[in-house]
Amino acid sequence: MEYYTWVLTFHIMAMMSWMAMLFYQPRLYVYHTEHQNKKEFVDVVKIQELKMYKYIGVPAMWATIISGAIMLYLNPYLLSSQAGGWMHAKLFFALLLVIYSFSLGYYRKKLEKDDYERSGNFFRAYNEIPTILSLFIVAYVITKTFSLLFTVITLVVGSFIVYKVYKQKEKKVS
């Protein structure tokens, strides 16, 4: 436990860097998609997408996962039944963030090849997902409890927000 606080500090810093990518990468995809007819602009955005994903997001994700695993090794009580199950819920939503992160890599590769299968509105709505998932993670960590009511309400409200963002009218690009 001597090093636990240092590992936790590193874990939080890595998570903040990873979340920065998760929040900004889909926004780059919105710009890329909505300005696809402006080659010079798209070429710059492609570079930003690559650097944000490959050099910030992926290393920060792995640093978050590894430091989290070390913390669980140092404090296995967190996974015990006496801890209340909140860590299991947190890990489930963290796994969804990992899957989301890899999906951003998938979309980056598609856009890199000028394959525009998704709209700007799709990426605007997709951009809300890490906010919803991080809400669960932060709530479970702070309260050290799992609340089914909180989870259901957040999923319903979050789904409604994503739907409304997706259904908004496409913006005209000049």
Q: Tens digit of pLDDT for each residue in 93-117?
A: 999 999 999 999 999 999 999 999 9
pLDDT above 50 (res 27): yes
pLDDT above 50 (res 174): no
Confidence of residue 170 (pLDDT cuts 50, 70, 90): low
For residue 46, give every residue at least 6 positions away whose Cβ sits within 8 Å of its Cβ, in sequence order, or none: 32, 111, 112
Q: Which residue has the tokens 């920065």?
A: 20
State both tokens at 106: 């998938």
Between CA 36 and CA 43 the distance in angstroms is: 10
Q: How many CB atoms lie within 10 A of CB 137?
A: 20
Nearest to 104 by CA among 67, 150, 58, 60: 58
Nearest to 125 by CA among 60, 170, 172, 89: 170
**pLDDT the model gives residue 168:** 81
Q: What is the mean pLDDT of residues 1-11?
A: 91
Domain boundary assignment for the chain: 4-167
3-state secondary structure of 80: coil
Confidence of residue 81 (pLDDT cuts 50, 70, 90): confident
Q: What is the mean pLDDT of residues 18-36?
A: 96
**Whether the model pTM is above 0.95:** no
pLDDT tens column, 54-77: 999 999 999 999 999 999 999 999
Q: State which amino acid sits at residue 21.
A: M
90 is in an annotated binding site: yes
Pairwise pLDDT comparison (81 vs 112), residue with the higher score: 112
Q: What is the mean pLDDT of residues 44-63?
A: 97
State both tokens at 118: 């998704």
Percent of the chain with pLDDT over 70: 96
